[in-house]
Structures are given as structure tokens and as C-alpha cells.
Amino acid sequence: HNSMKCCPGINVDGFMKSFAKVLRRACYGSPSNFWAPIMLPILALLPSSQHQLQFLNSLSNGKIAAVGTADTIAIVSAAAECSMYLLICTNKSDERKVEDEDVYKDSAQDISQTFLDSLSFYLSVSEGSTALFAAKEHLASVLSRGLFKLNNLSIDRNRCLFLEVRDWFWDKGIITALNATEDFELSGSRKITKLVRWMTSEKSRKEVDRVVLDDAMSFESTLRSFFWQSMLPVCQDSPSLEVLLLLQSIFYFTGIQHVFDSQHETKMISSTSCEAFCREVIIPLLSKPATSSKGKTWVTTMFNLFFFILNEIKDNINIGSIWEYYIDEVSSGSDLHTLFLGVSVLTSEWEELIESLHCHAFDQLATTVANDTEDRIQNPNDTNQIQDTESSFLRLCVGLDSSKKLMLVSSNVIQPWKDLTISSAYDYGYQGLCQRHVLLEVLFSLSEIHPSLIKPEDKMSLIKRAWYEGGASFYFVTSSVAFDESLCKNLVILGSTILKQQLNDEQDRGSIKANDIDSWCHRWAERASRLIELQQKYFAIAAAPLKTVGLEDLDVWRRAIEDGTESQQRDILFLCFVNLMKKIPIATRMDFFPVFSLLVHMLIVFAHDFKTERCDICLELFGGLDINRDAVISCLMPMVDFVSGRLESAEGSDDAVRCAVVVYDWLVGLILPKFIPNDVSQRSDDLEQTNISEGDIIWYVADTTRKNAPRVKATVKKVHRDDFPNLYFTIQFEESAKLTLKQTIASRLKKRQVDKNSALSNGVHEMTALLEERTITNVVKKYLDSPIDELKDVVAEILNISVSYFGFQGKQGIGTVRFQAIQAISKLDQEVITALSSENLDSIILERSLQSLSTALGHGILTVESHFNTSIMNYDGKSVLDALKRKVDGDDLSSFFRGIKSFSLCSAFITWIGVSVSSLMTIDNAAFLWELLDSLSSVLIEEDADGVASTCTNLLVMSRALKEMNRAMVSTKDVPKTETIASEQLCASNIIKLFIKSDTEQSSQQNSTEQVLPSWYLPLKDYIIAELEENSSVIQYGARTNTEGLLRSLNSPVKQWLAFHILQVSACSGCILFSIDQVELSEGTTNMLNFWQDGLVDEEAIEIEEDALNTAQWLPTDLMSFAESWDSTSGHNETIFIADLLRWYLCIDFLDSAGGANMQNRAHMTSYFGKTGAVTTLFELVLPFIQFKKHDRSSLFQCVSISSSESLTSNIESLCKTIMFRTIESMPTLCKMWWNDECPLALKSPVMKFVEAIVAPETLRRELNRMDKSSDLGEMVVRGNCISREISATYVQDECNISVMIRVPHSFPLRNVEVDCRKTLGVSEKRWRYWSLQIMRMLNGQDGSILDALLLWKQNVDKEFDGVEPCPVCYSVLCPKTHAMPNLECKTCNNRFHSSCLYKWFNSSGKNQCVLCQQPWSGTKVS
């Protein structure tokens, strides 16, 4: 070293030459991290400056030959360390030659440039992968240490080489390196920031205290110049987060005063001052509306920079003016989120500035934010929701979330906030706010830390509003430590007053709109539940909860009763009570059960529109009947007393007593079943084994040895007939939560649950006896003779309830309760007889008397209908019937009642017949009763045409009467049907007319909202079902005489189901509608026929006309018009869509019925339907509703069963599947043509699978059943199998056994059947081929059934054996469509053809030549 004493004999120049070459080659690929760290020690040991410079240049150039980026970074780091060593080492003249110093001085700038190249490389190197992170961090630390050392060299250290180039280095060299950085705003800024921060931390760690003169060059001065030249332009144009972090680092390193206090030439801002930089750069960036979109980190960094500058200003006046300037800018357009982030930074990191930032502008801004928050709260329909930002901002404004609790706003702001939140102008109406109230929460929290600002009365007002509005603010307030028992007590008192006032203030309630009642009551219940919750939480012994909220006030309920059933107050009380109970936990709900006197009034109020649905809801809220049976029993006597009291005050005509009767009937019905006399009970409960069918719901008796043994609800799964006539059954029922199958006999199966009349407890029997006596003594006996008709109606209703539920089975004889009840009914009966016997018949008196008698006998205007009152009371209505006969005195009944001109009297007579027919029906009276009912209903129809009375009421009483008449006819044996059938049919026709004329609009509205069926629906449905089971000819007559009206009724969602089934009776009857002479085509059909015939030859035109005329004989005119005009637009309306599907279903039924009568009809009608295009329309409509993944045919027809409980609207998919099945089954050829030509490609496979899984198996099964029942096959023997899908037919003709085998494919009718006749012995191949073609043509191309094909084949065989040759076109003797013989003969070859077949051949071939001889046609027609 130097003198080479340590290394004698070494040639330094040769060593350096070889070593420099190795360095330039980067050690020939050796990993740099192994050898780069020792480069500085080697450099220091070199003996001369020339060798050191050679070494440094070779090392620096070696980065070019480096293998990878990591090796390059390691070489650059070594070069930076070596260059730094050469720049900062002190020259010693005694150890270094003068010429070396000159070399160093000349090379100082080159050495500095090597360091700057290392810096440039660091700033430009890409981010790369995490594997390079350590290498880059090492390079950054080397550069940072070097810059730090260069920056802190003493000015008087004149022997340092760096001092030779210091001014150039700081003024130009490093500035050039920094400005040359690529992607400055992102990676470049990030790397420079890292260097500056490291230097700042080193400066702080080593506590360097060096005074830098203004004109001295240093890194501080470089950064200052870099700021003004390069960073300021970037800052003014939306700088990136990386640039902001760099700017922040520069300010921290240099000190803000060093940047701004010195003069610098710039046109970017008005002056080189902190104030100008804040106003012209920082504040505009923070005030932009899109500032918050840059992210939280960017905004907080910008605010930290802002507050750092403000903190360095040290002048409170300037600080305040700058802050106020920023607030003014914010108020004019910035979003609140940005300001909130700034205030968060201020309160968390710069609390020392808070005192200096108080200003009027910020107070105004805080008030504006509070106003906006309140505006959104008071307008629930506003789409702008309260943001958490507003809450946090307001809390920061009053210092709630800062460590020192310093307020940013002055105390003057608090009073406007309080006025805004708790002022007298606040609306305590029914707006019912439930959103979070930010300002309220802030003020309540402020009351805890600054009680002087929020007075106790203000605090109570805040609590009151929080309770009223609810939501999160209420729970925020009540869960606070400041909310104590005293505040809770005051709130309960105040809230109770408000709730009671709202229930009692008639003026306020009257201002509620009808469509707002539900919402108002829901919010009232929420407030009440919050009040009760607080009461139960803070007070161990709480007052009655209902009393607290005002619902235990009996006067409230009494006023609602007096207001009538149309009163809005009834709805309000019910909804308030129900909504409140739903918010109370079920476990504690019984604590709210009202006392019995209150409960009676509540139930009467709940009997809305004289219905008890609301009462049921009330009962279920408290756990149902099982839990509240004793309470229900306890209400019965008070209810009777209520009715008695109202009758005594002559107020029986008001709605209150009627509601009480309805509720009384409901209460009794909860405890007792309808009483059934023992003989009727036993007779009506047993099941005949022959009447039990699969799917029936019955009751199974496990232990027949016990009287009134428990019964289990079960379903009949299978009827076993292998021991006929002794049948047994497989039933399914639930046992121990599992479904169990069991075989049993008919004697163990019952129609209904066990008769509870004899299973009641002694307590209930005692209660029943007391009620019998109380109702008869205090109500019936006392007020039955009232001259007020309305009072008499109420008494009759009470008598009906007593008879139908209690049965009066106690003591009998004069003076007993039963005797008094019988006397009461006898008195009503006698009034009717007296009115009938009067010489001048008063229809009004007779009507009222009949109505009261009918009500007492079980009609039930307000109560549940009863069927056994006449049997219980041994009522014999023959006296009334005899009086009527005497009054009519042989005149025509219809003329008699028309002469009275009282349609309501006719309705009253029908009602009386319905309740008393069980005692009137005898062999002698049957015909008269049916004639009487026919006459009365005929008059009612005329009355309805005049619009005098309600059709729905007449329909209800007529339905009940017909149902009871049929029941009485079944009980009365040996009544000749011939004597009554005509009247029965007329009655059926009349009730169907009433059904058609019923109010469809009202029914539709009910059905569309609550799915509530009209009162006549179920009785009419029961009557129709009973008639269909007993004698469908009655309904058939009514359907045929009212077809047009029934088809219109299909458009009513309520009536369409019954209308469809009535029409279906006619459709399936097999009876022709019109003879050919009676057929008149409608104008629409005529126009369509002309359109279809246009351009056809005469024979084809005649054939199409025959199709239409034949169809018109079987299909109603309206259905023909429907098929001709049906299009896919009907799918837009659900009701019309379902109606159209049902119309099409009826078309199919009419088609099958006509085809069953004569197979020619099927050919004509399918040809007609093919012309209409209805099949295509059907598939377009139904396919979107069908999920083809489900293939279950077990319940295929359940959706169109009259006993189905599901509505068509909820079961559209099943209806579509069923109709699609029926269409494919009845019109196979038309459906196959659609599938081949028009079916969308995406649906071909699903439709095929649907046919294979459902249509083909079920069609074959139904076809085999029809063939088993057919009597037209004669001697033909037909056998079939659903598994093999083969049908064989054998026919004997002239001692020749003729056989045919039909193979039905799995996808029939989409794939053709195969026919094989080859097993027939003695028949030529040509003939059996003809026969095969006949059957295949019939099945594959003529829409014929297998039965039709076999019958036609049989007829053809017979004709052929008679010597008739088949038609060469269709290979059949008889035309498949018209069954005509071949009637056109070719003059050339003498072969005969069917005319229709020949013309089709002409059209398809395009030639007018004979089929066989190919000569021009010149045939003649033969007979």
C-alpha cells in the first residue's frame, strides 16, 4: 500500500489491468452479492488515485455486463459507496503526491457523476418483484447515507474533494438526476420520498445542528429548487398520493420556512409565501367536488400537509383567515366527506391548532349541515339517506370524539341546533319517523360533557323525541349512562299522555287518510311497545301495560262500538292492538290479556263487517284456544248480558248488538260443536264401503270398544276388492311424526271427528245449562214479541245459536227451558200461518215473519248456518205448507207469486224451504216442493232482471235450498223421479241464471286482493258436486240452456271454475247440440269459411264446409268463434289467459264426446280445428309456463277436478300441462304436424321427453280402458299391455282368424305406430299390407284413436269380404273421414276412388291423371 511495503514484488499496474477487466465483465457472471460488498475495502487499499479512479470506472461499467437486475443493483450500490468514499475522504499532502491531487480535482465531477448515475439508476429501476426488494432497499440506504453525509460536510473542511464540486452537485447535478426520473408522479416520487424520509430520520437521530446559510448549497437548497421548478406545477394539477407524500417529506426535512421565506422566481402563485401556497394550491385541491373520490389516504395526507403549513405560520390571524377562506370554499361546492376527513385529522393530530381555527364561517357550515340532516329526517320519502359522515362530522364539531373534548364551533351554534330539534314547531303528528336522528344523538351526548349547554328540560325534550321517532336514536339515548330511572319515569308519564290523546282525539284521527291507517297504527304500536319496554326494564312492579298506552280504557272501546261498523276508529283500535301484541314477546304476552269486561267490548269492536276473522287473530296472538279456553267461557255470560242490555234499551237495530251476536256465535262455536241429534249423528257418521274411494279423507277409529274413542285423520290410499263383496282398505295417517300405512275395514272409518256433544266436561255442561236458561229467559222470551222487526231478528239469531249448539237436552216438560224454546219457535211459526191465512195478504209482514222463523231454524244471517234445528226442536212445517196451499188454492204458483209483486217474499220463502225441507219432504210433498222452488226461483230471475234486489243474496239462499232439497230427497226414499225431474232441471237452470248474473266485478275485486270468496260460492259448489254425483242430467239441462252466459262467466276469476265444470257436464254428455237443419253458422265463421274456401276446387270447398257444419252441430257458437280468433295476446292478462285455456279444454271435451258418438265427427272437427290454427296458439301460450324437468302424471287431472282446493291462479303450470296432454291425446296428428314444422328447436327435445314420460303412457292406459268398456267391438277380441306397448286384435270372418298387432312407440304420437298383419293365415300379402296401411293412416294421419282405427278396420274387412275393393289412395274401403264407399271410377282402368282421396292426390302430385294407369282423368261418379 502506497510504498508497496506490504506487498513487495507485486506489479500494481498489471494487477489493476487484469482486475479492471474482471470488474468490467462483472466477474464473469459470478453473483454480485458475493463480491460487491468488498469493493470499497479494495478501493481504499489501492496505492494511488489513478488506480482508484480506474477501479471505480471499471466497477461502474460492470453493471452493463451483469446477468440480472439483482446483480446490477448490487454493482450500482458498490459503485455508489466507492464514489462516496472518494468524495468525502480528506486529502493528506504528506501521503499523496501533488499530481494525484490534480488528478482527483480533475476527476471530482466524474466521481460525483458516478454517484449521481447510481441515484438515477435507483429512481428509474422498475418496481420488479419482491425478490429484488432487499437489493433495492440496500441501494436506497447507500444513497441516503451518502446524500446525508454530503449534506452535512462542514464548510471549513477544505481538504474534502466534494468541496471542489459542491456547488455544481447541488445546483445542477442532482436536480438533473431528480428531474430525469421516469413516471415521477408514481414510482419516482415514492423513491425520492423514501430517500428524504431516511435522511430526515437520520437528521433527527443524530441531532445534527448545522446552520445552512441562505447562499450555501446543500440538499435543502436542492429540494427547495426542486419544489419550485418541478413539484409546484404538478401540485396544481391534481397531484397523486405519492407526490403529496414527497411534498410532505420535503417540508419536514427542510422546514417550511426554508422553502417559502426565501425569494424564488415563479409564476405559479402570487408570492412565495405559505399563505399564497395554501390559498392558491392546497385549498383549491381540497375544495374540488370530486376530492373524496381520490380516497381517504390522499385526503388525509393533503390535510396533514395543510395543517402542517398552518402550524408553521405561527400567526393566529393568518391561520384563522386561511381556515375561514377554506371553509367558504367548502360551503360553495365541496362534499361533506372531504371536510369530515379534514376535521378528523385536525382533532386527532393537530389539536393545538383548534383554538386558532374558530371562525364564523365554520359555525355557519355546521348549522347548515345540521339543517340538512333535519330536513332529511322530516322527509322520509326523500331518497337521500342520512350518512354516518354527517353524524361523525357533527360530533367532531362539538368535540365529542376528540381527546381534549375541544369544540370547533362556538357555543352560539348549540342554541339553533336545539331549536331545530326540540322547538315547539316540531310536528307530533302521525308522520312517524323511524330513521336515525343524528342531531338528536349529538345534542344528547353533548349534554353529558357540557351540561351547561343542554338544560334538563331540553334534555327531556330530546328523550321525548327519540322515543317518538324510535329507531337507532331511541336505543342510543336509552342505553346511555345519562338515562336513569328518573328520566324514564318522566318519559313514561309523558308518552302515556301522548298515546292516550292520539287514541281519544277524534279530530286528529279524522285527519288520517284511509290508505294511511295501517301505517299510522303500526307506528303507534311501535311507540307503545317502546314505552312498555322501558317501563318493564326500569320498574320491577309495573302498571298494567295496556293501561299505560290507553288500550285498557273501556270508554275508548265503547265509543268505537257506538260509532258503528263503518267507523274508522274500529280499524284503528284493532290494528293498534294487534301490532302492539306482535311486538311483545310471546312468553310475556299473557301479561297483556285484558279483563273479561274489556275483552267483551274488544271482541265486539273486532267483529268488522259482522265477521270474526279479527277475533281469530286476537285469539291466536294469545296462544289459541287451548290456552284461552277458560277465558272464552268466561266471556259468554257477559256477552249475553250485553245483548240483553242493548235490547232492553231498544237499541237492537244498531250495529253493536249485531256484532255482539256474531261474536257470541263465534265464542260458543269455539267451545261447543254444532249439536247433532243422536240418530242423525250415528247415521251421518258411518261410511258405506261402496262409497269409499281412493284419495278420500276419513277418520280412523283405532279402538272400537271405547265409546267416543279418539279418531285419527287418514287418507284412503287403496281399495281392495279381492274379497268382494267384502271390501277392505289401505289407509295412511301420521303417527309419532311418521306416515303409517295400515289395512282396515269400513266399520272403523268415519266421516268426521268424534262427536264432542257427549265428550264435554262437566264444567262445560253446567255452563251450557246456564247459557240455555239465560238466553231463553233474558233474551228470547223477553223480546220475541217486540214490535220492532230488528229486535225480533236479533232474538231469532240468539235462539238459533242456542238451539244449534246447546240442543236443549236437559229437563223436558212444561216450564223447562226446552219447552220455552219450542214455544218461541211455535210462536214464530204461527205468525207465518196467520199472515198466510189473512184475507188481504200483507207481503211485508209475511216476509218478516218467514225471515225470523227461518233464522231461528238455522238460516243464520249473522251466524253460522245450522242443519239440525228442525230435528232438535221437532219442528213440523207442514202447517205453513198447508196454509200456502190453501192460499194458492190450485192456482199456478208462478202466477200467484208474480201477482204478489214482492221479490223479497220469494227469497224469504226459499230461505224457509232450505231450513225446513228435512221435515217437509215426503212422497206426497216432493213434487209440490220442487214446483214451489221452481216458481220462486223463476220469479227471482225476473226480479233480478229488474234490478230490485241483490242477486248474490238470492243466489246464496237458492244454493242452500237446493242443497238441502237434494239431501232431503236422498233421505226420503221411493220418491218417483219422474214427478220431480222437470222441476229439478228448471231449478238448476234458474240457479245457473242467477250465477251468471251475479256481481262479477265485486267478486273479482275480492278475489284479487284477499282471495275472499263470495258467500254463495261454497253452497253452490256443494250443490253442483252433489248433483254431479247423483244425477248429472239436471246440471246438464242447466248448462245446455245457459251455455252462452256460462262461457262469458269464464272471464270472471271467481266464477270461472264453477262455470267450467257446469259446461263440462254438457261437453262430456255425448249429446248433439243442433241437428243439421238447425245449424246456423255465425257471421264470423261464415267469413272464415269463405276465406278458407278461396281458390279451392268445388269438392274441397264442400268438404271444408261439411267440416264447419258438422262442428257447429256439436260445438257452441261462442267456442267456434273463440277457436277462430284465438291468438297469443291473451297471455298478457292472467284471468283471460286461464279463461281461454278452459275454453280450449271444453273444445277438447266436445271433440271427444262427438268422436265417441261417431268417429266421423272427430275427423270433421279436427279438420276444422286444424284450419283455425288453435293448436299452434295453444302451444305458444302454455309452453313458457311448463317446467319440463318435472314429469309426474299421478296428479295430472287434479288441477281440473271440481274438488281441487287450489286456485287456478296458483296452479297455472299444472293446468297448462293437463291441457297440453289433452290436446296431444285428442289431436295427435295436428300436434305432430306442429312439432315437426313449428316447434322451436330448443323445445323439441323437452316436448319429446314430456310426451314420452307423461302423454304416451297415460294415453295408452286410457285408450285400453276405453276399449275394455266399448260395446262396439262386437266379436273382435282386443288385448293390450302398457308395458310392452302392444295391442293385438283378433277378428273372425268367414271362418278365417284375422289378426292385427299394433306397436305404439314410446313417443307416440310424435313417432308413428307400427302395424303388423302378417300372422293372418289365408290372406294375401297385398291384402294384409292394405290393412296395415289403413290402420297406420288412421292413427298417424287422421287424428283417430286406436279404438277408432280398429273399428274402421273391422268395417273395411267386412266390406272387402263382401267383394268391395279398397280405394288405392287410402287403402281403405270406407273413407276414414266420411265413411263413404269409393264413388269415382276411372274409365280407363275401372278402379274406384274416394272423391276426397283423389282430389288430394291431384293437389299433391300437381297432375290430373289416374293414380294407377296414369292416364288423363276422365272418370265418372258411381253410386
Q: 1266-1285: b or e for each residue (b if 16 or more CB lie within 10 Å)?
A: ebeeeeebeebebebeeeeb
Using CB atoms within 10 Å of the CB of residue 1342, give its burial: 0 to 12 exposed, 13 to 18 middle, 19+ buried.
buried
| CB 143 within 8 Å of CB 80 | yes
- Residue 29 in this model has a pLDDT that exceeds 50: yes
Q: pLDDT tens for residues 761-793? A: 556 777 888 888 888 888 888 888 777 777 888
Which triple of cell numbers denotes residue 651? 237499541
Q: How far is CA 1250 from the centre of its chain?
A: 29
CA distance 896 to 887: 9
Q: What is the DSSP string of 74-92?
A: HHHHHHHHHHHHHHHSBP-
- Residue 380 in this model has a pLDDT that exceeds 70: no
In whole numbers, what is the pLDDT of the chain averaged over residues? 79
Share of the chain above pLDDT 90, in %: 7
Q: pLDDT tens for residues 1037-1046? A: 998 999 999 9
CA distance 371 to 679: 80
Give the model's confidence band at 1115: pLDDT under 50 very low, under 70 low, under 90 confident, else very high.
very high
User: For residue 338, which of 376, 297, 279 has the smallest C-alpha distance?
Assistant: 297
**Which phi and psi angles does 831 have, rounded to 5°?**
-65, -40
Mean pLDDT of 1294-1317: 76
Q: What is the DSSP string of 722-767?
A: TTTTS-EEEEEEEETTEEEEEEE-GGGEESSS--GGGS--HHHHHH
Position 183 scores a pLDDT of: 64
Q: pLDDT tens for residues 693-734? A: 888 888 888 877 665 677 888 999 888 877 777 888 999 888
Place of cell 240483553: 644
Q: What is the DSSP string of 455-509?
A: -HHHHHHHHHHHHHH-HHHHHHHHTSTT--HHHHHHHHHHHHHHHHHHHH-HHHH
- Residue 1147 in this model has a pLDDT that exceeds 90: yes
Least confident range from 22-31, 519-528, 1342-1351: namely: 1342-1351
Q: Distance of CA 576 to CAs 466, 524, 591, 1003, 1072, Å?
A: 20, 7, 17, 29, 62
Q: 23-35: b or e for each residue (b if 16 or more CB lie within 10 Å)?
A: bbbbbeeeebbeb
Least confident range from 83-92, 289-298, 489-498, 1230-1239: namely: 289-298
Position 1005 scores a pLDDT of: 41
Position 912 scores a pLDDT of: 92
Least confident range from 398-412, 1337-1351, 1384-1398, 1407-1421: namely: 1337-1351
| CB 549 within 8 Å of CB 580 | yes
Share of the chain above pLDDT 70, in %: 82
Position 1190 scores a pLDDT of: 66
Least confident range from 85-94, 871-880, 996-1005: namely: 996-1005
User: For residue 412, which of 467, 460, 351, 364 has the smallest C-alpha distance?
Assistant: 364
Encoded amino acid at 433, one letter: L
Mean pLDDT of 76-86: 87
- The sheet with strand 1392-1393 has its strands ordered as 1392-1393, 1384-1385, 1420-1421
| CB 423 within 8 Å of CB 370 | no
**Which phi and psi angles does 1298 have, rounded to 5°?**
-105, 125
User: For residue 1162, which of 1179, 1175, 1172, 1148 has the smallest C-alpha distance?
Assistant: 1148
| CB 1335 within 8 Å of CB 1302 | yes
| CB 937 within 8 Å of CB 962 | no
Q: What is the DSSP string of 1234-1272?
A: HHHHTS-HHHHHHHHHHIIIIIHHHHHHHHHHHHHH-SS
Q: pLDDT tens for residues 463-502? A: 888 888 888 888 888 888 778 888 888 888 898 898 988 8
Give the model's confidence band at 1144: pLDDT under 50 very low, under 70 low, under 90 confident, else very high.
very high
- Residue 446 in this model has a pLDDT that exceeds 70: yes
Q: What is the DSSP string of 349-390?
A: H-GGGGGGG--HHHHHHHHHHHHHHHHHHH-TT-SPPPPHHH
Q: pLDDT tens for residues 205-220? A: 555 444 444 445 677 7
Mean pLDDT of 494-520: 78
Position 1293 scores a pLDDT of: 62
CA distance 1181 to 503: 53
CA distance 68 to 32: 10
Position 682 scores a pLDDT of: 52
User: For residue 254, which of 283, 227, 215 has the smallest C-alpha distance?
Assistant: 227
Helix (H, G, I), strand (E, B) or coil at 135: helix
- Residue 1004 in this model has a pLDDT that exceeds 50: no
- Report CA Rg, the chain: 52
What lies within 8 Å, CB to CB, of 876 at 6+ separation is: 919
Which triple of cell numbers denotes residue 264? 424564488
- The top-scoring range by mean pLDDT among 314-328, 834-848, 989-1003 is 834-848
- Residue 1126 in this model has a pLDDT that exceeds 50: yes
Q: What predicted TM-score, i.e. pTM, was given to this entire model?
A: 0.68
Alpha helices, DSSP H, located in 505-562: 506-510, 517-538, 545-549, 554-562
Count the Cβ atoms, other than its own, within 10 Å of residue 1098: 9
CA distance 146 to 85: 9
- Residue 1199 in this model has a pLDDT that exceeds 90: no
Position 578 scores a pLDDT of: 92
Give the model's confidence band at 1150: pLDDT under 50 very low, under 70 low, under 90 confident, else very high.
very high
Q: 539-572: b or e for each residue (b if 16 or more CB lie within 10 Å)?
A: eeeeeebbebbbbbbeebbebbbebebebebbbb
CA distance 1418 to 1386: 6
Assess whether the previous peptide bond of 1368 is cis (omega < 30° from 0): no
Q: pLDDT tens for residues 230-277? A: 666 767 677 777 777 878 787 877 777 677 765 555 555 655 677 878
Count the Cβ atoms, other than its own, within 10 Å of residue 428: 12
Assess whether the previous peptide bond of 545 is cis (omega < 30° from 0): no
C-beta pairs of 270-278 under 8 Å, 24+ apart in sequence = 272/228, 274/309, 274/312, 274/313, 275/313, 275/318, 275/322, 277/309, 278/306, 278/309, 278/310, 278/322, 278/326
Helix (H, G, I), strand (E, B) or coil at 293: helix
Mean pLDDT of 657-677: 87
Which triple of cell numbers denotes residue 275? 399563505
CA distance 265 to 371: 47
Q: Distance of CA 74 to CAs 330, 693, 1139, Å?
A: 50, 96, 87
Give the model's confidence band at 293: pLDDT under 50 very low, under 70 low, under 90 confident, else very high.
low
Mean pLDDT of 445-451: 85
Which triple of cell numbers denotes residue 626? 287451548
Q: pLDDT tens for residues 104-154? A: 566 788 888 888 888 888 888 776 666 678 888 888 888 888 888 887 775
Which triple of cell numbers denotes residue 953? 243474496
CA distance 263 to 282: 20
Position 1009 scores a pLDDT of: 40
Least confident range from 372-386, 946-960, 1374-1388: namely: 372-386
Mean pLDDT of 374-395: 67
Position 1002 scores a pLDDT of: 45
Position 431 scores a pLDDT of: 45
Position 211 scores a pLDDT of: 43
